[in-house]
Amino acid sequence: MTVYEWANLRKAAKTGRFGKVWKQFYEYAEPGSYRLTNSFRESRFEVEGDRGGLQHFAIYFLLASIQRAHWHLYSRTQPGGEVGPFDSGREISIGHSAEQPLDRRPTTDVELPAFRYDAKPVLASGEPPMLPNSESWTSGEEDSFSINGNTPALLSFLEHCLDLAEGATPSGTELRYVPGKQLVKGNFLLFERNGELQEEESVPLVVRRIR
């Protein structure tokens, strides 16, 4: 079991400097190269990673929670994505609802002062529970995918990825995020196109552990 802990996150949120957050992360992260890919398969979006890959995916949910903003995760197979965390696939955006509120509703989240979590292995595939008051949604286009949510939702994704990254998690174990359960079901206002508000529905998401 890995214990992850970050203290004094308010300073990072105010300054926008995350050097200490990354330094602490690399004390926990699996050393060396890692595997992390994403793809659309059968109308759902899938992310696959080994221990190190899922840890690198997880950290961006923490960063989005701290800064209450969005982060772009690039793929090395896309133009300009040489330094992206993904070996292949699309660009992923992880965003906080403070920046893009659901149905234009303002968020009531407070800032994140610190984070501590005792990760535990996921021993069977399934639909994971989200933290209380979580609200999250996903959307996908031809060359990108986005995961948005409030602080409880982003921390849920963070904790789930850290659990999947545990050494005792069997290869092939997956966590599924389903509209109407972990994700918002039904149409919601997402963006404006050609002067009109467009409505989208959350895309099912799967995060899978591989070796």
pLDDT at 81: 60
Strands (E), 50-201: 70-73, 91-96, 115-118, 136-140, 144-149, 174-177, 187-193, 196-201
DSSP code at position 89:
S
Report CA-CA distances (Å) from 66 to 17, 41, 58. 11, 31, 13
CA-atom Rg of the chain in angstroms: 16
pLDDT at 199: 64
pLDDT at 98: 85
Where in the sequence is the domain holding 89, given as residue range(s)?
3-209
Of the chain, the end-to-end C-alpha distance in Å amounts to: 18
Burial code of 115-137, b = ≥16 C-beta within 10 A, e = fewer?
Answer: bebebebbeeeeebebeeebbbb
Contact present, 127 and 140 (Cβ < 8 Å): no
pLDDT at 142: 76
Provide block-wise average pLDDT over 10 residues at a time, the chain (211 residues). Answer: 95 92 97 96 95 98 94 86 85 88 58 95 98 92 89 97 98 97 73 62 95 91
Nearest to 140, CA basis, from 72, 93, 73, 104? 93
Which helix (DSSP H) or strand (DSSP E) does residue 10 occupy?
A: helix 9-15
How far, in Å, CA of 85 to CA of 155, rounded?
A: 19
How wide is the angle at C-alpha 116 spanned by C-alphas 74 and 92, nearest 5°?
15
User: In the chain, how many domains are there?
Assistant: 1
pLDDT at 82: 67
Give this prediction's pTM: 0.91
Report CA-CA distances (Å) from 90 to 61, 93, 132. 17, 10, 30
Q: Crossing angle for the helix pair 51-67 and 19-28, nearest 10 degrees?
A: 150
How far, in Å, CA of 208 to CA of 206, rounded?
A: 6
